Amino acid sequence: MRPVRIHLDTSDYSAMHDAPMGSPVAEIREKLTEMARSGRIEIGLSYHVVFELLQRADPEHRDNRLSRARLLSELCGLNAFPYPTDLGDGYRFSKTGLWQPRITLDNHEIEVIVGHFIEAVQHDPDATAHVRRIVTRHKYLRRWAEEYPNRFGPIAYMSWPVMFGLSLVEDGTFGRYVAGAISRDEANRKLWFFINDPASIYELWFEQCNWDCPIMERRDNIAGKFVTMLRELRGMMAGTGDLRTRITAELNATGDDALSPDARTQLLQLRRNLQTFREEISSPKQLCEDVPIWKQLFGNESGLLAAEVLYAFERDKRPIKDSDGIDFVHVMYLPHSDLWRGDRAFSDLLKKHKVSFNERVVPTLLELPSRIEAELEKQSAR
């Protein structure tokens, strides 16, 4: 029987982390932890959940944020949803813990790191002209590293492009890779652990590199694009409504203002064409066909869902808040989950307008255990 795949909202992790022992939410945390360990469920990490949960990483919050990070690891293990826009490239839920954007993984590939190291060797004042010339080839780099171990370590420490590299130097991983003792895949698995493990990324991102949380900027960009698209859609809908009103007024004119038979025929045809156009721009499926960027970014299932969410906002006449940008990102994982948790108001919108896969939405965290049991029973009956 396949495990039930779950997406949790950031607020769920926060609530479970802060829940006092013996409380209903604490009991859910223990239940989910036990079910995850037994393999009955798979809860996926995702980029925006990790950084939402670990933001505000000032020193006074350090212990709390590391504790949150450990909860993420305990519940999710190596289960992860890909970065939202990587869905369009065919990446799906993985069991290798890779939630970072693929471009980030590519930029931190072990051979990229070796390239930085080679440049550092070539700029080493103690390196001879011969060494600077030959180290670009792996077998000579390996020989140089073996013959000059007293230079290998210090240069690795100085040249590493990201701080977590120190750990790989200290534990010998980098040296073993350069020496040919471990494969490229194994080296990358060890390397990528540091940018995918929640506690490690907290220490790397906020403490070692002193970077700001990326969520606010990305959230605002997404919300801004979503607002722009909704504004354009509403503008088109309003424009067709105004034109239809003017056409109806012309058709209803009497006396001297009445239309000639030919003009009336032409205007009736225009109204029919306008109705067809209005139906087309009211169709999420048609939007996906006319604006293929949705599918290119999020894949077929999530691309159509993105269009449906846009129309749900339009039909609900609901204003878009900045926080809706993150909810919009979270909902891209709905087609790839068996059960999905999100913001309450956003979840209500999905169910009210019956977007695709809305039956997978779980309204509250307290309902999740019973929904999991129901899903397991459904699978066992197949």
pLDDT in tens, 28-77: 999 999 999 999 999 999 999 999 999 989 999 999 999 999 999 999 99
The span from the CA of 365 to the CA of 16, in Å, is 10
Angle between helices 323-331 and 293-316 (to 10 degrees): 120
Banded pLDDT at 249 (limits 50, 70, 90): confident
Is residue 274 scored above 60 in pLDDT? no
32 & 76 share domain = yes
Burial class (CB in 10 A: 0-12, 13-18, 19+), 330: buried
| Boundary of a domain, candidates 197, 218, 246 | 197
| 53 domain residue, yes or no | yes
Between 36-50, 53-67, 200-214, 288-302, the lowest mean confidence (pLDDT) is in 288-302
What does the buried/exposed string (b/e) look like for 34-54 if buried means 16 or more CB atoms within 10 Å of the residue's CB?
ebbeeebbbbbbbbbbbbbbb
More confident residue, 294 or 142: 142
Average pLDDT across the chain, whole number: 87
The span from the CA of 253 to the CA of 264, in Å, is 10
| 316 domain residue, yes or no | no
Banded pLDDT at 269 (limits 50, 70, 90): confident
- Residues above pLDDT 70, as percent of the chain: 90
The span from the CA of 144 to the CA of 272, in Å, is 78
61 & 24 share domain = yes
Most confident of 219-228, 233-242, 326-335: 326-335
Say if residues 168 and 174 touch (Cβ distance below 8 Å).
yes
What integer is the mean pLDDT of 249-267? Answer: 73
The span from the CA of 378 to the CA of 382, in Å, is 7
115 & 180 share domain = yes
- Residues above pLDDT 90, as percent of the chain: 51
Say if residues 325 and 220 touch (Cβ distance below 8 Å).
yes
64 & 114 share domain = no
112 & 75 share domain = no
Most confident of 97-101, 228-232, 253-257, 376-380: 97-101
Q: Name the domain count of the chain.
A: 2
375 & 339 share domain = yes
Between 166-180, 205-219, 224-238, the lowest mean confidence (pLDDT) is in 224-238
Q: What is the domain range of residue 370?
A: 1-81+334-382
| Boundary of a domain, candidates 197, 212, 243 | 197
| 220 domain residue, yes or no | no
Tokens of 95: 């069991």
Task: Convert the pLDDT of each residue in 344-354 to its tens digit.
Answer: 999 999 999 99
Q: Facing residues of 339 across strands? A: 6
Task: Convert the pLDDT of each residue in 103-152 to its tens digit.
Answer: 999 988 999 999 999 999 999 998 899 999 889 998 899 998 888 888 88
Is residue 221 scored above 90 in pLDDT? no
Alpha helices in the chain (DSSP H): 10-18, 24-38, 47-54, 62-76, 102-107, 110-122, 129-134, 138-147, 149-159, 165-170, 173-178, 184-196, 198-202, 215-251, 261-281, 284-290, 293-316, 323-331, 344-352, 368-381
| 206 domain residue, yes or no | no
What integer is the mean pLDDT of 93-108? Answer: 93
From edge to edge, which strands make up the β-sheet containing 41-43? 41-43, 4-7, 339-340
What are the C-alpha distances in Å from 212 to residues 136, 148, 209?
35, 39, 9
| 12 domain residue, yes or no | yes
| 90 domain residue, yes or no | no
Tokens of 218: 């990305």
More confident residue, 308 or 321: 308
Banded pLDDT at 379 (limits 50, 70, 90): confident
What integer is the mean pLDDT of 352-365? Answer: 96
115 & 181 share domain = yes
User: Residue 66: its pLDDT value, please?
Assistant: 97
68 & 133 share domain = no
73 & 119 share domain = no
70 & 121 share domain = no
More confident residue, 168 or 62: 62
pTM: 0.84
121 & 182 share domain = yes
Cβ neighbours around 283 below 10 Å, total: 15
The total number of residues shown for the chain amounts to: 382
Is residue 280 scored above 70 in pLDDT? no
110 & 175 share domain = yes
The span from the CA of 97 to the CA of 185, in Å, is 14
The span from the CA of 144 to the CA of 141, in Å, is 5
| 56 domain residue, yes or no | yes
Is residue 82 scored above 60 in pLDDT? yes
User: Residue 167: its pLDDT value, please?
Assistant: 79
| 180 domain residue, yes or no | yes
| Boundary of a domain, candidates 177, 197, 217 | 197
The span from the CA of 119 to the CA of 158, in Å, is 11
User: Residue 279: its pLDDT value, please?
Assistant: 56
